[in-house]
Amino acid sequence: MGPVLAGVLQLLALMAALALAHIPLGTYMARVYSSDKHWRVEKWIYKGIGADPNTEMRWPAYLRGVLAFSAAGVLFLYLLQRLQGVLPGSLGFASIDPDQAFNTAVSFVTNTNWQSYYGEQAMGHVVQTAGLAVQNFVSAAVGIAVAVALVRGFARSRTGELGNFWADMVRGVVRILLPGAFVAAIVLVACGVIQNFSGIHEVGQFMGGSQQWNGGAVASQEAIKELGTNGGGYFNANSAHPFENPTPFTNLFEIFLLLVIPFALTRTFGVMVGSVKQGYAILATMATIWIGFTALMMWTEFAHHGPAFDIAGGAMEGKETRFGVGASSIFATATTLTSTGAVDSFHSSFTGLGGGITMLGMMLGEIAPGGTGSGLYGMLIMAIIAVFIAGLMVGRTPEYLGKKIGTREIKLAACYILITPALVLVFTAAAMALPTPGHSMTNSGAHGFSEILYAYTSASNNNGSAFAGLNADTQWFNSTLGLCMLLGRFLPMVFVLALAGSLAEQRPVPETAGTLRTNKPLFVGLLVGAILIITGLTYFPALALGPLAEGLAS
Amino acid sequence: MNNSVTNTARLLGAGLRALLVLTLLTGVLYPLAVTGIAQALFHNKANGSEITADGRVVGSALIGQAYNLPLKKGQETPEPDLKWFQGRPQNGLGANSVNTQYKLILSGATNRSADNKDLIDWVTAAKAAVIKDNSTADYKVKPSDVPADAVTSSGSGLDPDISPQYARIQVHRIAEQNGLTVAQVQHLVAEHTTGRTLGFMGEPRVNVLELNIALKALVAEN
């Protein structure tokens, strides 16, 4: 069997596993967010918080919950890093500098997991396990909660009530992420991912002497890092590190983990709005883009155009032998089409066009299938834009799922899709125009520009992967990328929740012969087209200067 | 105004309490439970898959090593010890720059693009060296025989494996250097080649450390 066929078979196996898993998981999640029973452990947690989980919240109250919880998260994680030098269980590692601590705290709370530090030399057990990994859970749960609030906006009528933030967030952790991560962590350890608290290991070598490596609770963090589409590696090499991702099976398993909740949420959506077909239409849109991007990525990576790869005879720079080109291409596409940002191979050393595909995946807004929760709400915003465009063509007031898309709704959706491009393009332009940020580049020419464009794209879309040649541990990058992560995470949430509130207040409009059927293939095609054209128009000039220039030159 | 400040403070307090409770659950109990099970059921794997040979630990099966001659006086880059199978280049690997009380391996890639001058130079030099080092009196390595993994650095810099093709072109050199027959070494490589998992996952590979341990044992036998 050749590597191309093996790559295709791995993709097919992944599709089959996701197809099998998304229905039971999606239905289960719909039950989790519709149930009015509380588990005992949840009641203890609510008592600890001092919140009544049965109080219904309107959108401003829901948003205040999101913001307060996230602000507390940033503060706590910042202090934990600043105090690392005096914390026990930290291997004697020094405290993190203020700008890097700010960047890292924001990064993990926003589900980005951009890392301007080297995990193995900077973060001790306590910060990794009780700080960073905790945010892997809760930031993912916050994302799902906001998505569920939007779904309730479609499902409910003549009420402004969207549910209870604390209940949604806690249930996401207790009933979905924690059991899933626990099982996944044990599977990973069984395959060779390390899990210990024994500090620095000094181990002999074949040729004599010894080497030192950093032990830690890696499997428990790796599991939630993928399942929660977080992506922050325990080690600098992330999922390319053999202790995070030791075998071809763990590699596919990790890709499965990072895709499964975003895809399953389409089922949750379908069940909660009372029509699983509507969920299938969203799923089909996501899957079309995901499979198309993966196929393109495999094509360009196997074709390996570029001077160094022509000499080497293959695009293996930055890729591990056990994964090869095929599995690395699948991982790279999945991680940038979700908000994960974990890597099993280094995107900066992909072909010019391959690097462009990773960037374009993020630029789509990470909606195919996107991050936990953020993928679904991002895609539903695009669906609103698509029915609006269709409505303009035929001169009808657009509607979606029985709700009118009026002036207020379309304004909120438009604001949503303008935020990240504005952040990406303005900050990239500023970094290019200023004298010093360019000094952080490792590569020159088009690829150097791509390093900076990639950084702001990744931060603003809360992805976290990088063209890692860029030295991002400078005050400029730590601060501006931190700002992009914050604004790119929470401003969209403001618009999503406002939209959810306004949809929930509406009375449903009855379906007529003139209603656009949003559960049919025609709509899927329209939606895919709208997504690609809107993103294409927004980012084409920037992409032309970076990855397209590099890819077409070789 | 006062009212909204109080409300904000109350809300932040709730957020902080929520975080602390969930930290206890997901940041303390969860990792401890996973560690307990991992240490009980998969002790060796949970601690880094260390390999023992000749009564001492010689590394981890998962972490690639360098098989170089000791540095000579005035030398800055070590030369490969051609008696042993060689792994992939490790140009992305670093040493720790903070907390320097330790000498930690810093995993990583080169992050060089295909049109980067450094990368072109590295690949060109590595290819020439692989051809020169592995050609013996009666075996000439052709440029087209050299697989891509032999001349590129991996993502982690710690790739424990090489492709079977890279192992194959080292066979004649290894046989010559160690006084073994080519057939003996070929057999060794075949024994240590792992195929794709279930026939389709990942790529075929040879673990260099395990191969060299077996090679050492074979040389000792002869």
Q: Is A48 on the interface with B (CB under 8 A)?
A: yes
Whole-number mean pLDDT of chain B?
96
Which residue ranges make up each domain of chain A?
A: 3-202+214-553
The enclosing H or E element of B184 equals: helix B182-191
pTM of this prediction? 0.97
CB-based contact, A514 to chain B, within 8 Å? no
- The average pLDDT across A248-253 equals 98
Give the confidence band of A360 by pLDDT, cuts at 50, 70, 90: very high
What dihedral do alpha carbons A376, A378, A380, A381 form, nearest 10°? 170
A204, closest residue in chain B (CA to CA): B58
For residue A514, the model assigns a pLDDT of 84
Tell me if A337 sits within 8 A of A370, measured CB to CB.
Answer: yes
Residue B1 has pLDDT above 70, yes or no: no
Q: Which residues pair with B80 in a beta bridge?
A: B68
Q: Which of A41, A71, A246 minimises the CB distance to B15?
A: A71
Q: How far is CA B19 from CA A224, A233, B25, B201, in A?
A: 17, 22, 10, 40
Among B70, B53, B51, smallest CA distance to B61 is for B51
Query: Is pLDDT of A421 > 80?
Result: yes
What residues of chain A lie within 8 A of the CB of B113, using their CB?
Answer: 306, 348-349, 352, 355, 443, 447, 469, 550
A240 and B156: CB-CB below 8 Å? Answer: yes
Over residues B107-144, the pLDDT tens digits come to 999 999 999 999 999 999 999 999 999 999 999 999 99
Contacting residues of A for B102, CB less than 8 Å apart: 91, 121, 200, 212
Q: What is the pLDDT of residue B175?
A: 97
Report whether pLDDT(A84) > 80. Answer: yes
Query: Looking at the predicted structure, is the pLDDT value of residue A554 above 90?
Result: no
| DSSP states along A184-197 | HHHHHHHTT-----
A281 φ, ψ to 5°? Answer: -65, -45
Mutate to test the interface with A, among B11, B21, B29, B30 (most CBs of A within 10 A): B30
Residue A395: is its pLDDT beyond 90?
Answer: no
pLDDT digits (tens, 9 = 90+) for B155-207: 999 999 999 999 999 999 999 999 999 999 999 999 999 999 999 999 999 99
- Per-residue model confidence (pLDDT) at position A400: 96
Q: Does A253 touch chain B (CB under 8 A)?
A: no
Percent of all residues in chain B with a pLDDT value above 90, rounded to a whole number:
91
Q: Is A411 on the interface with B (CB under 8 A)?
A: no
Instruction: Express as a percent the part of chain A with pLDDT over 90.
Output: 97
Task: Name the A residues in 301-340 with CB < 8 Å from any B CB.
Answer: 304-309, 311-324, 326-328
Q: Chain A contacts of B129, Cβ < 8 Å?
A: none
What is the radius of gyration, based on Cα positions, of chain B? Answer: 24
User: Is it the case that residue B2 has pLDDT exceeding 80?
Assistant: no
pLDDT-based confidence at residue A542 (cuts at 50, 70, 90): very high
Q: Is the Cβ of A195 closer than 8 Å to some Cβ of chain B?
A: yes
- Whether residue B205 lies within 8 A of chain A, CB to CB, comes out as yes
Q: Which of A122, A237, A309 sits opposite B114 (nearest CB)?
A: A309
Spatial CB neighbours of B77, under 8 Å, sequence gap ≥ 6: none
Residue B50: phi and psi, rounded to 5, are: -70, 150
Query: What value does the mean pLDDT take over residues A45-73?
Result: 97
Q: Residues of B numbered 127-186 whose beta carbons fall under 8 angstroms of chain A's beta carbons: which are they?
A: 127, 144, 146-149, 151-163
Chain B contact present for A166, CB below 8 A: yes
Find the CB nearest B27 among A129, A321, A348.
A129
Interface test with B, best of A9, A97, A322 (most B CBs within 10 A): A322
Tell whether B62 lies on the interface with A, counting CB pairs under 8 A: yes
What is the predicted pLDDT for the residue at A469?
93
Asked if B162 and B149 touch (Cβ cutoff 8 Å), the reply is yes
User: Residue A394's pLDDT band (boundaries 50, 70, 90)?
Assistant: confident
pLDDT reading at A285 higher than 80? yes
Task: Identify all chain A residues contacting B193, using CB atoms and an 8 Å cutoff.
Answer: none
Helix (H/G/I), strand (E/B), else coil: A314: coil
Q: Which of B113, B116, B159, B193 to mutate to test the interface with A (most CBs of A within 10 A)?
A: B113
Number of inter-chain CB pairs under 8 A, A vs B: 402
Q: Which of A116, A43, A107, A124 is nearest to A70 (CA)?
A: A107
Asked whether the beta carbons of residue A240 and residue B23 sit closer than 8 angstroms, the reply is: no
Spatial CA neighbour of A202 closest among A213, A194, A193: A213
Return the residue of A nearest to B41 by Cα: A190
* pLDDT of amino acid B44: 97
